[in-house]
Amino acid sequence: MLLIDKLEETFLKEINELNISNFDDYLKINNKAIIFLCSFKDEINKKIEEGLKEFIIEKVRENYYPKLYNGINPESLGHPEYLAYALNENIFSSNELRRINFQNDSWRNNFIKKYIDEKLLKNLKEKLLNSS
């Protein structure tokens, strides 16, 4: 295995282990290594977007779902654009949606419209490459 392959493997593993709260710090600390990796591996760009999508979905499930289930207002969560993205991707089952604090489908759809960022993955990827 080449060193660059090991760097790619480590980076993709670490991205999935991050929390929403330490994402920005990770980017600042590892910015040069991420840029280096991207300059040598053309296919890494697609893997980064897939990794970021998995990151958002996993973190919403881990961090937001328990809070929503316990009655926290979705509007009060940090990074509501992550929740809107996850809702738009239909990561919750209908049973899960009934358990969390969405009054009805119309309210959920309005939440998505209000907070959805169509360029979320692109912006996060840009942040990866420009967080010096």
Chain segment 3-24, per-residue pLDDT in tens = 888 888 888 888 878 877 788 8
Please give the pLDDT value at position 115: 94
In Å, the largest CA–CA distance within the chain is 52
Chain segment 40-68, per-residue pLDDT in tens = 777 787 788 888 888 888 888 888 888 88
Q: Decide: pTM greater than 0.85.
A: no
Which letter, b or e, does each residue of 40-64 get, where b requires 16 or more Cβ atoms within 10 Å of its Cβ?
A: ebeebeeebeebbbebbeebbeebb
